[in-house]
Copies of this chain bind each other. A is one copy, B any other.
Amino acid sequence: MEKIKLKKPDGRQLLLYSRRPIPGGLRAPSPGAEPVEADPHLRWHPLRGEWVAYASHRNNRTFLPPPEYNPLAPSRSEQFPTELPVGDYDIAVFDNRFPSMAAGASARPELPTPSRPANGVCEVVVFTQDAASSLGALPLSHFELLVDVWADRYEEIGGREEIQYVMPFENRGQEMGVTLNHPHGQIYAYPFIPPIPARELELQRGYMEDHGRGLLADMLAGELAGGARLVAREASAAAFVPVCARYPYEVWALPSRPVPSLAALERAERRDFARTLKTVLMKYDALWNRPFPYLMVFHQAPTDGKEYPWAHAHAEIYPALRSPGRLKYLAGTELGSGMFANDCLPEEKAAELQAVKVEIND
């Protein structure tokens, strides 16, 4: 993995990653030269017991790009610079221009609820220079580099004193609210352990105390043995529709070895994990012969300096659709009570994904 670090005119960081050496002399562009003043803060939600982030961005500069403008493409126009330079690299990572969390943020002591600076990190990960590609369509070695990038970001961002949790994710498709089709994901790094990972960690801890083994390792072993919900399988990684799927085509993908983070994976394991994810995404897109919208999120061990031997790094993928034209809406019972209602059986959806044949050329 080759990596170089650049600074944008507005002060933000740009990282370029490649499978090959990256030529020197690259300069980092930015759509605006002046820093975006985010100053986000967190407020305590006393009825749910969680932090909520607030950021109201004030952008000083007039910026009216042409309709075909793509800020994630390499910058070819002097008049309307993008986020990325022209050059030979595979993956780029930069600080989000409109972050929900950012360094140097301040609290709001005048409020009637506790507040604190939202001093987290929000990065954008551009998967490829090719705006017409997609994550699932990347060559395996390119996808493997992305696993390296996620691992690198986990270690580098997670190494910061104030960061307790690093979460890479991809929102894919306009059904997920994505406005840029260029293949990209994001990394949110929190100055606390957010509620969903905290809950998952607590349950993994309890399971290990009760059984002496890991919850996800045991679930995976059961799925490998039974096979009814298995979607992809490599020597050291696999993917399945969980027996408790909340979304019709939900899939979990994970390394067989209960590593705390992607950074702990060996070379061959990274390749297997990349191949497993790629298989799932290719099956999704082939299922209805259309780009499949989803949220893919990675849960790893916190980076708060404590030990989490029960944390098993994994990806959870929540597709937005129930059928080619029908969304799975989150409404009354999901958002109001927390009980998800799924009108599809996981076993039936797994069978559909099993029936889709895909081929990966190394």
Contacts and interface: CB of A to CB of B under 8 A. Distances in A.
A215 B47 contact: yes
B336 A245 contact: no
A45 B177 contact: no
25 contacts: A46-B207, A46-B219, A47-B216, A47-B244, A48-B199, A48-B244, A52-B245, A53-B340, A54-B344, A100-B333, A100-B341, A167-B332, A167-B336, A170-B332, A171-B329, A171-B331, A177-B329, A188-B337, A194-B333, A194-B339, A195-B339, A197-B337, A199-B338, A297-B335, A318-B335
The winner among A190, A245, A336, A348 for most chain B CB atoms within 10 A is A336
Contacts of A204: 47
A203 interface: yes
A34 interface: no
A52 B111 contact: no
A266 B298 CA distance: 50
Contacts of A344: 54, 56
A356 interface: no
A194 B337 contact: yes
Contact of A111 (B49, B243, B246): B243
Interface string A308-350: 0000000010100000000101111101111111111110100
B337 A295 contact: no
Nearest to A245: B52
Main secondary structure of the interface of A (DSSP, over half): mixed
A80 interface: no
Contact of A188 (B50, B318, B332): B332
Given A52-B245, A112-B222, A243-B113, A343 B57 contact: yes
Given A48-B196, A55-B343, 17 more contacts: A43-B244, A45-B246, A47-B244, A48-B199, A48-B200, A52-B342, A53-B340, A54-B343, A100-B333, A112-B219, A112-B222, A165-B337, A167-B332, A167-B337, A190-B337, A194-B337, A196-B336
B52 A340 contact: yes
Contact of A336 (B100, B169, B243): B169
B176 A329 contact: yes
A226 interface: yes
B342 A46 contact: no
A199 B55 CA distance: 26
A186 interface: yes
B297 A345 contact: no
Interface in A275-322: 295, 297, 299, 316, 318
Contacts of A176: 329, 331
Contacts of A100: 333, 341, 343
Q: Which 9 A-B pairs have the closest CB atoms?
A: A177-B329, A297-B336, A195-B338, A194-B337, A100-B341, A45-B244, A196-B338, A169-B332, A171-B331
Given A295-B332, A337-B195, A47 B203 contact: yes
Contacts of A195: 337-339
A165 B338 CA distance: 12
Contacts of A200: 47-48
A295 B336 CA distance: 8
